[in-house]
Chain A
Amino acid sequence: AMDTDLSSQDRKDLDKFIKFFALKTVQVIVQARLGEKICTRSSSSPTGSDWFNLAIKDIPEVTHEAKKALAGQLPAVGRSMCVEISLKTSEGDSMELEIWCLEMNEKCDKEIKVSYTVYNRLSLLLKSLLAITRVTPAYRLSRKQGHEYVILYRIYFGEVQLSGLGEGFQTVRVGTVGTPVGTITLSCAYRINLAFMSTRQFERTPPIMGIIIDHFVDRPYPSSSPMHPCNYRAGEDNAVVYPSVEDSQEVCTTSFSTSPPSQCVFTVTKAHFQTPPPVVTDTLKVPVMGLAFSHQLSSSRFSYQPAALGVGSADMGYPVLLAGGLNAAHPHQLIGPGKEGGVPPVPSQPAHGTQADQERLCTPLEGVHYSAATPSSSEDTETVSNSSEGKCGSPHDLLETIFIRKVGAFVNKPINQVTMANLDIPFAMFAPKNVELEDNDPMVNPPESPEAESPLQGSLHSEGSSGSSTGNTHDDFVMIDFKPAFSKDDILPMDLGTFYREFQNPPQLSSLSIDIGAQSMAEDLDSLPEKLAVHEKNVKEFDAFVETLQ
């Protein structure tokens, strides 16, 4: 019932946006806990694969994990996507630091434009996420990881579980985006009591024997998905480990339209298909492992290397996980081949849920127009007031009757300088004849109002239309007084223009006039003692005044 108002195209778009928003959210969070600075480049020409117009890299393993957790579903009421960030020490103690939640609530915004407003707001929300991931306490911890501890992530889908965060955890809201099917909310709950090193209050996991293999943490939760280390080095030149066929092909080229202003055009075109990279097999792992071994032996400290099949991170001194057939059940370790471990094979069929996407990608969608109703959301409304644009009579009407005082034109022109067009601008002859805008603009053509009683009024009246060369009668210039908006005429019953004219030339101060200044010096000197006496009497007041200036 909720969807009947949403066109099927909009619905598909919206689902796609939410799906990719979820994937990008996970990428931002995990990358922010890698322990290193992130840097991506701006590109002025859209490449077609940058969702939400942001350059956010896709670490394939992370996308794979996220998709696995989502299992083709989207966040909905009661079904939230959570990214859990935890810390694990070299002794094997671990502790949850943060839970990032992407939730959906029931509050729908039917009026909002999917292809435009929702998309842009999701982009804004990702920017907020980028900013917020650097300001929670776990960020600084994650930057210092490596020797004493590492940071792990775990993605799950379902109910949010915050109990592992300890007492008094705090929540920060990253933002919300309303959509026609519900409101997306992104928030983070984080532990504030980080004094855990001394008090071992957290769960014990099997001790690490120098070589980390098992980071499969025993969780009391039903949907326990394995945890993964965050610091993953995805080498650009290595083959994509998780081919993620649908990802490399689901790109989004968005076009927005501004004309006509009330319409929005959103076109999604499928980018070129990329040849799916070959599935990583054992052979790729071998050289890395060789490297790993030598590191492993020399390093007394363990560290994590995520199931970086084919990827090494020897540069940071992180020995790669050993394989040796251990924990074949755990798919996220560098272990031997097999169905249970290693790389999942390229799906021959797209996973359910993406079927529709695949099909959709094949049909060209250019030229699909969404005629958007006048947006009700405030951000689409231009509040800058425009002068009303209406029709006007011919300029001839203008010339007949009025001498227009334009805003800012405090010119008191002698009549014989008034030009034929009688508009107070030079080169008026060359001005475009249709002056509808000004004519109907109340600032320029105020409604008729009674003449002001200004004493200067008289000087504006014409004494004759000597300057006219067209034969139009300019005999009587009727001064139209402005009633500018927001002016009060209860204090001084005049408008700004009149006020200016009146007080433009105030009389001189009497003390400055020659007559007064003709007093002789002698008289001044005579009056001095008196004045000094007066001042001395009031010396206290003067002192107080000087005090206030200190």
Chain B
Amino acid sequence: SCPLSTRCCAPPSTGPAMNCRAEVLEVSVEGRQVEEAVLAVLHTVLLHRSTGKFHYKKEGTYSIGTVGTQDVDCDFIDFTYVRVSSEELDRALRKAVGEFKDALRGSGSDGMGQISLEFYQKKKSRWPFSDECILWELWTIKVNVVNLANEQERQICREKVGEKLCEKIINIVEVMNRHEYLPKMPTQSEVDNVFDTSLKDVQPYLYKISYQITDSLGTSVTTTMRRLIKDTLAL
């Protein structure tokens, strides 16, 4: 990736900072609930990790815009979550979650995978070295897709998953309340190293979403050696 780009597309190159928080949440859901469940978690985290747009003025002072919020009812889960009122952000999350869901469905996997939301800071390096991305908070959602036999089970699942998500939200809020490391409020020249300033109405901390699908062997698809050997022997 170009060292001059303002966005860091590659995975974090230097890995987590010493005090990186890592939280893992697990959900077991039906296929059609995957998107809503994951969006609920991601939006709840980003609600807490977004501020209003910064407006820098003279003498290094800045004012902060206003963040609106809205309720989102889930269609397949008895659950409602709150997200920031930003269509751009919602679209970005839905796109990532949609890809995750398709990958989960398509790989012939057992329906296990995980999707991660990483918050990072950029540290500029001198040219020709590319900027470093220092991870400071990592949220991992482990998703396990279950198949249900009948409508009654599905109804119970709606309620149960709703209750589980309530617990997850409480967990997330608990973590947020710890008031642990947050990047220092940046000067105007540094703001793009800390925040994503590309949205027009809100300003989340720099974040990245990635996912990983577990294949039915229970291993990550990146370790394909075993499969290669297996396939070869099967000939």
Chain A contact residues, CB within 8 Å of chain B: 37-47, 50, 53-55, 121, 124-125, 127-128, 130-132, 134-136, 139-140, 143, 172-176, 253-261, 265, 267, 377-384, 407-408, 425, 437-438, 546, 549-550
Q: A259 contacts which chain B residues (CB < 8 A)? A: 59-60, 187
Determine which residue in A42, A121, A378 has the highest number of CB atoms from chain B within 10 A of its CB, and name it: A42
Of the listed stretches B75-83, B103-111, B145-153, B206-214, name the one at the interface; the rest are far from the partner chain. Answer: B75-83
Q: Is A40 a contact of B177 with CB atoms below 8 Å?
A: no
The CA of A135 and the CA of B77, in the complex, are separated in Å by 13
Q: Is B57 a contact of A39 with CB atoms below 8 Å?
A: no
Q: Is A258 a contact of B52 with CB atoms below 8 Å?
A: no
Given contacts A128-B173, A550-B230, contact A383 B61 (CB under 8 A): no
The CA of A253 and the CA of B60, in the complex, are separated in Å by 16
Interface residues of B in 101-129 (CB under 8 A from A): 121, 123, 126-129
Q: Is B134 a contact of A54 with CB atoms below 8 Å?
A: no
Given contacts A128-B176, A258-B187, A383-B17, contact A55 B68 (CB under 8 A): yes
Q: A143 contacts which chain B residues (CB < 8 A)? A: 80
Binary flags per residue of B28-71, CB closer than 8 Å to A gives 1, else 0: 00000000000000001001100111010101111111111111
Given contacts A42-B65, A134-B71, A253-B63, contact A173 B179 (CB under 8 A): no
Q: Is A39 a contact of B70 with CB atoms below 8 Å?
A: yes
Given contacts A42-B84, A384-B123, A549-B230, contact A256 B66 (CB under 8 A): no
Q: List 9 A–B pairs whose Cβ atoms lie within 8 Å, in order of A's numbering.
A: A39-B69, A127-B47, A131-B47, A132-B170, A134-B71, A136-B166, A384-B123, A549-B229, A549-B230
A425 touches which one: B128, B170, B202 (CB < 8 A)?
B128
The CA of A256 and the CA of B59, in the complex, are separated in Å by 10
Given contacts A42-B202, A127-B47, A382-B183, contact A54 B173 (CB under 8 A): no
Q: Is the C-beta of B200 less than 8 angstroms from some C-beta in chain A? A: yes
Chain B contact residues, CB within 8 Å of chain A: 17-19, 44, 47-48, 51-53, 55, 57, 59-71, 73, 78, 80-82, 84-86, 121, 123, 126-129, 134, 165-166, 169-170, 172-174, 176-177, 179-188, 200-202, 226, 229-230, 233
Determine which residue in A44, A260, A550 has the highest number of CB atoms from chain B within 10 A of its CB, and name it: A44
The closest CB in chain A to the CB of B201 belongs to: A42
B66 touches which one: A43, A130, A437 (CB < 8 A)?
A43
The CA of A172 and the CA of B177, in the complex, are separated in Å by 12
Given contacts A40-B85, A45-B55, A131-B44, contact A257 B61 (CB under 8 A): yes
Q: A380 contacts which chain B residues (CB < 8 A)? A: 184-185
Q: Is A383 a contact of B66 with CB atoms below 8 Å?
A: no
The closest CB in chain A to the CB of B230 belongs to: A549
The CA of A54 and the CA of B181, in the complex, are separated in Å by 22
The CA of A43 and the CA of B85, in the complex, are separated in Å by 9
Q: Is B230 a contact of A175 with CB atoms below 8 Å?
A: no
Given contacts A127-B48, A175-B177, A379-B179, contact A39 B63 (CB under 8 A): no
The CA of A346 and the CA of B65, in the complex, are separated in Å by 32
Q: Is A258 a contact of B186 with CB atoms below 8 Å?
A: yes
A37 touches which one: B70, B182, B233 (CB < 8 A)?
B70
Q: A41 contacts which chain B residues (CB < 8 A)? A: 68, 85
Could you tell me the distance in whole angstroms from the C-beta of A543 to the nearest C-beta in chain B?
Answer: 11
Q: Is B62 a contact of A46 with CB atoms below 8 Å?
A: no
B81 touches which one: A40, A134, A267, A378 (CB < 8 A)?
A134
Q: Is B78 a contact of A140 with CB atoms below 8 Å?
A: yes
Q: Is B47 a contact of A55 with CB atoms below 8 Å?
A: no
The closest CB in chain B to the CB of A367 belongs to: B59
Q: Is A378 a contact of B69 with CB atoms below 8 Å?
A: no
Q: A40 contacts which chain B residues (CB < 8 A)? A: 68-70, 85
The closest CB in chain B to the CB of A39 belongs to: B70
The CA of A175 and the CA of B134, in the complex, are separated in Å by 27
Q: Is A260 a contact of B63 with CB atoms below 8 Å?
A: no
Could you tell me the distance in whole angstroms from the C-beta of A62 to the nearest C-beta in chain B?
Answer: 17
Q: Is B65 a contact of A379 with CB atoms below 8 Å?
A: no
The CA of A259 and the CA of B201, in the complex, are separated in Å by 24
Could you tell me the distance in whole angstroms from the C-beta of A487 to the nearest C-beta in chain B?
Answer: 15
Q: B47 contacts which chain A residues (CB < 8 A)? A: 127, 130-131
The closest CB in chain A to the CB of B51 belongs to: A53
The CA of A44 and the CA of B201, in the complex, are separated in Å by 5
The CA of A125 and the CA of B174, in the complex, are separated in Å by 11
Given contacts A255-B62, A377-B179, contact A37 B51 (CB under 8 A): no
The CA of A38 and the CA of B182, in the complex, are separated in Å by 29
Q: A382 contacts which chain B residues (CB < 8 A)? A: 183-184
Given contacts A383-B18, A384-B121, contact A39 B184 (CB under 8 A): no
Q: Is B67 a contact of A379 with CB atoms below 8 Å?
A: no
The CA of A38 and the CA of B72, in the complex, are separated in Å by 9
The closest CB in chain B to the CB of A264 belongs to: B185
Q: Is A256 a contact of B173 with CB atoms below 8 Å?
A: no
Determine which residue in A140, A258, A546, A549 has the highest number of CB atoms from chain B within 10 A of its CB, and name it: A258
